[in-house]
Structure 1
Amino acid sequence: MSITHLQSFIAVAEEGHVGRAARRLHLTQPPLSRHILALEDELGTPLFERIPRGMRLLPTGEALLQHARRILAEVDAAALTVRAAAREPGPPQR
């Protein structure tokens, strides 16, 4: 699972619509749809029900959503930690 695929998944889950999620992510719909399809293919199961007015999470998608949010939160936390460490003075160099 790539971070991009998880970001795409969360956006579609929260927006309930590929077009709105694409605008939110500053993408067009085709690549966003490909991200979702690739994630579903990798996991071997559909995550969304395609409905006339958008997308609805299936139980499999609900199961992934909490994990995806936690994963992205950890990635953000790791980046903040590294940036903070880069600002701290290190040991004197010889």
Structure 2
Amino acid sequence: MSLTHIQSFVAVAEECHVGRAARRLHLTQPPLSRHILALEDELGAPLFERTGRGMRLLPAGEAFLVHARRILAEVDAAVHTVRGVAGNRTSG
């Protein structure tokens, strides 16, 4: 499972639409759809219901979204921490 797959999942979950999520991530739809399919395959469960108008989270997707957002927040915090430490070392 890659960070890119998690970011893709969160974008689709929040937009409820692959096209809008692809634009948000500066991707085209085919690679974004592949990210979602790969993630679902790895997790062994469908995360979305594909509808005529977009995507709707299934219960497994709703459960994963909580963790996915937490993972992204932790990665963001780690990046900020490292940049802060690196900034302190180069200026001190």
Query: Normalized against structure 1, the TM-score is what?
Result: 0.93
Distance (whole Å) between structure 1 residues aligned to residue 39 and residue 58 of structure 2: 14
Sequence identity percentage: 80
Instruction: Give secondary structure in 1 for the equivalent of 2:56.
Output: strand
| Larger proportion of helix | 2
TM-score (norm. length: structure 2): 0.95
Following TM superposition, by how much is the alpha carbon of 1:88 offset from its aligned partner in structure 2, in angstroms? 1.2
Q: Which runs of 5+ in 2 are unaligned?
A: none
Moved over 4 A (4+): none
Q: CA–CA distance in 2 between the matches of 1:44 and 1:87? A: 42
1:89 to partner: Cα distance: 3.2
Count of residue correspondences: 91
Equivalence for 1:11 = 11
Query: In the alignment, residue 52 of structure 1 is paired with which amino acid?
Result: G
What displacement does 1:28 show?
Answer: 0.1
Structure 1: segments with no counterpart, 5+ residues? none
Q: Report the secondary structure of 1:81's partner residue.
A: helix
Correspondence for 2:45: 45
